[in-house]
Amino acid sequence: MSKTLSDDEIKQAVDVLNRVPKGFLPQALFIAVAAKVTMPTMELVPVRQNQNGDVEVLLTQRPNDDPYWPSQWHMPGTIIRASDNEGTDFSSGVERVLQNELHGTVHMIDKPRYIGMKFWDVARGRELGTYDR
- Reported as a single tens digit per residue, the pLDDT across 55-104 is 999 999 999 999 899 999 999 999 999 899 988 788 899 999 999 999 98
Question: For residues 129 and 79, what is the distance between their CA atoms, to the nearest angstrom?
Answer: 9
Identify the pLDDT of residue 133.
Answer: 54
CATH number of the domain at 117, please: 3.90.79
* Residue 2 forms part of a structural domain: no
| 8 A C-beta contact, residue 129 and residue 43 | yes
- Average of pLDDT values for 46-61? 92
**What does the pLDDT average to over 103-109?**
87
- pTM comes to 0.78
- Model pLDDT, residue 109: 84
How deeply is 132 buried, as exposed, middle or buried, from its count of CB atoms within 10 A (0-12, 13-18, 19+)?
buried
Rounded mean pLDDT, 44-53 = 91
3-state helix, strand, coil in the chain (%, to 5): 25, 30, 50
| Domain presence at residue 24 | yes
Which of the four pLDDT bands, split at 50, 70 and 90, describes residue 118?
confident
pLDDT at 108 over 90: no
Identify the pLDDT of residue 106.
Answer: 87
Domain count, the chain: 1
Beta-carbon contacts of 19 under 8 Å, excluding residues fewer than 6 positions away, are none
Cα(59)–Cα(40) distance, rounded to whole angstroms?
20
> What band does 132 get if pLDDT is binned at 50, 70 and 90?
low
What pLDDT is attached to residue 13?
93
User: Looking at the domain assignment, is residue 40 inside a domain?
Assistant: yes
Q: Do the domain assignments include residue 108?
A: yes
Going from the C-alpha of 18 to that of each of 12, 22, 82, the distances in angstroms are 10, 9, 13
- The tens digit of pLDDT for each residue in 11-41 reads 999 999 999 998 888 889 999 999 999 989 9
Range of the domain at 112: 7-132
End-to-end CA distance of the chain: 42
> Do 130 and 90 meet the contact criterion of CB atoms below 8 Å apart?
yes
